[in-house]
Structure 1
Amino acid sequence: MTFDRRKFLKYSACASASVLVLSKLDVMAKANMKNIGLQLYSLREEFPKLGVEEIISRVAKAGYKFVEPYGYSKKDGFWGKSPKEFKALLNKYKLSTYSGHYDFNFLATTIKHDVLEDYISVAKTLGQKYLVVPHIDHKVFASEKNVKDFAEKLKVVSEIFGKAGIKLVYHNHDFEFKDLGGKTGYDILLKELKPSEMDFEIDLYWAVRAKQDVLKMFKDHPGRFTFWHIKDIRKSDKTKNTEIGNGTIDFGVFLQHAKQAGLKYPIVEQENFEIDPFESITRSVKYLEKI
């Protein structure tokens, strides 16, 4: 996502700064929220019922422009389709994929170079420029030493990916924000890995639920948060999700700081539903297009 800074300065200089700055930010957010993706994990329970092609066709029909797949295995590919077949399916429904969630749990103990090379091959087939660490064993974030050891492994992976033209990305839950003597594991990763080595996919639901000051993170680490996972907190139960705009998170506030954060790829994700999943993801994308 990019903001037109020259126009911003021109408008803000023309009249009352407080009114026009907010107005302009709102316009810019709208202009940049046209390329919205869906994390396919949202529909994990639908794949066995409907099959991968029906899922992809409905995602495209809902208004999404790209998807973030998950669950790849060398044996089964993506829901029984090889990377080449999956790419052809995305092309058929005019969907792109810029990133994917891959299993990096082995990094809790070691580095598997053969697995990394396989992931690179898959990413190149799909046209993905980013590979995301979606989850890691909680014990990695149990102490500062553990996190720093993990960071060293991430640096090795980053170097391998970088030579292939791929960027490493880290996705959070809430356990990364456990206090480790005045700092969190997430703080340590942001410090230990340079912007050239790793980007971050901030899951706003988990960050807010962990009571983090997200705007301060954007200010302290500008440009690091290339990807956002956008999902809302259900009003009746903070452990559950709801459609974006139907919960307790004011995403408009975050979007005013999208440029500072470095946002390029906004991604809807929802882990549980109160209504039909396809109606739900449709409401979420439409809401984001409007706010």
Structure 2
Amino acid sequence: MKKSQIAAQLYTLRDFAKTAEDLDASLKKVKEIGYQAVQVSGIGPIDPEAVREMCQRYGLTICATHVSYDRLLNDIDAVIKEHQAWNCRYVGIGSMPSEFRSGLTGYQDMARTLSGIGAKLSEAGLELIYHNHKFEFEKFEGKPGLGWLLDSTDAAHVGFELDTYWVQAGGADPVKWVRKVEGRMKVVHLKDMAIVNDKQVFAEIGEGNMDWPAVIEACRETGVEWYVVEQDTCPGDPFESLAISYRALSNWAN
């Protein structure tokens, strides 16, 4: 992992990215922290061209996104156009719609749908990546839902964006899952887990209990390209949380 591969997930800053003016100020702060890339997710209704211009102004690569399931189904041509303009290969779906979560049949239906969307994106030189939460670790016929998605989606058209916190929250081992999706994960979500008052909470990298040297090594060995810092909720200033995580990850950078 190089410092240039560490990115900030803008969902972390969603309350500071609702308008173009706010986003501009936030991107400036992200660059000042040291980040050289961002994942576009959770921002307000801002013109894609304006987003491109802001990121160019601050020298920030748009490494990946999260796009709504509805847009992937019904507005895919515009999604493709945006990503090509941003020079962004990785099109993320942030979560599985609730209607697919009811059982094994739902996961199989989701796999077919993802494979179809992914094929369209592949034709345009893009790649669909699926981001997990903890519910995907519920087991069906002895295998977790995420395992069914891994085995049932078309490997040529569907990749994964494992979230280390949610893997651990689901009772699984992030290191083992990084290795399990080898060859199908170029973008990973990094967030730490701490225990506070006997509850699992989101934490900055290095402030929780995850084995980061092992996680980073597994990502290196399996060909991850982008190491994206995300923190769903922060104890204070989210910019400071991003800074703490960046400094910690920099210690493991080449």
TM over 0.5: yes
Residue 45 of structure 1: CA displacement?
1.7
For 1:229-248, list aligned pairs within 5 A: 229-236=189-196, 238-248=199-209
The change in CA–CA distance for 1:221 and 1:276 in structure 2 (over 3 A counts) is closer
**Deviation digits for residues 45-103 of structure 1, max 9, x if unmatched?**
223597111001001101111110114xxxxxx53431111101101000010211010
**Deviation digits for residues 133-158 of structure 1, max 9, x if unmatched?**
10122341321111111111111111
SS in 2 for 1:266: strand
The change in CA–CA distance for 1:51 and 1:95 in structure 2 (over 3 A counts) is same
Which of the residues 55, 62, 66 maps onto 1:101?
Answer: 66
Residue 105 of structure 1: CA displacement?
4.7
**Deviation digits for residues 112-137 of structure 1, max 9, x if unmatched?**
2xx11111111111111111010122
Q: Does 1:92 align with 2:67?
A: no
The change in CA–CA distance for 1:105 and 1:177 in structure 2 (over 3 A counts) is farther
**Deviation digits for residues 154-195 of structure 1, max 9, x if unmatched?**
111111111111111000011111111201211111111233
SS in 2 for 1:85: helix
Q: Partner residue of 2:148?
A: 188
Residue 214 of structure 1: CA displacement?
2.7
Letter in 1 for 2:188: W
Letter in 2 for 1:62: I
Identity over aligned residues, as a percent?
Answer: 26
Q: Partner residue of 2:115?
A: 155
Take 2:130 and 2:69, find their aligned partners in 1: how far apart are those partners?
A: 10
- Aligned partners of 1:132 and 1:168 also within 8 Å: yes
- Aligned partners of 1:138 and 1:175 also within 8 Å: no
Q: Partner residue of 2:134?
A: 174
Please say which of residues 255-264 and 42-51 is displaced more in the overlay.
42-51
SS in 2 for 1:52: helix
Q: Does 1:217 align with 2:217?
A: no
- Aligned partners of 2:205 and 2:249 also within 8 Å: yes
Take 2:95 and 2:67, find their aligned partners in 1: how far apart are those partners?
A: 9
**Deviation digits for residues 17-51 of structure 1, max 9, x if unmatched?**
xxxxxxxxxxxx5xx34421011000112235971
Q: Does 1:47 align with 2:17?
A: yes
Q: Does 1:197 align with 2:167?
A: no
Letter in 1 for 2:239: F
Take 2:93 and 2:18, find their aligned partners in 1: how far apart are those partners?
A: 25
Which of the residues 36, 42, 47 maps onto 1:65?
Answer: 36
Q: Partner residue of 2:27?
A: 56
Take 1:201 and 1:221, find their aligned partners in 2: how far apart are those partners?
A: 9
TM-score by length of 2: 0.91
The change in CA–CA distance for 1:180 and 1:105 in structure 2 (over 3 A counts) is farther
Structure whose residues are more often strand by fraction: 2
Q: Partner residue of 1:282?
A: 243
SS in 2 for 1:229: strand
Gaps of 5+ in 2: none
Q: Number of matched residues?
A: 250
For 1:249-288, list aligned pairs within 5 A: 249-288=210-249
Q: Partner residue of 1:119?
A: 79
TM-score by length of 1: 0.80
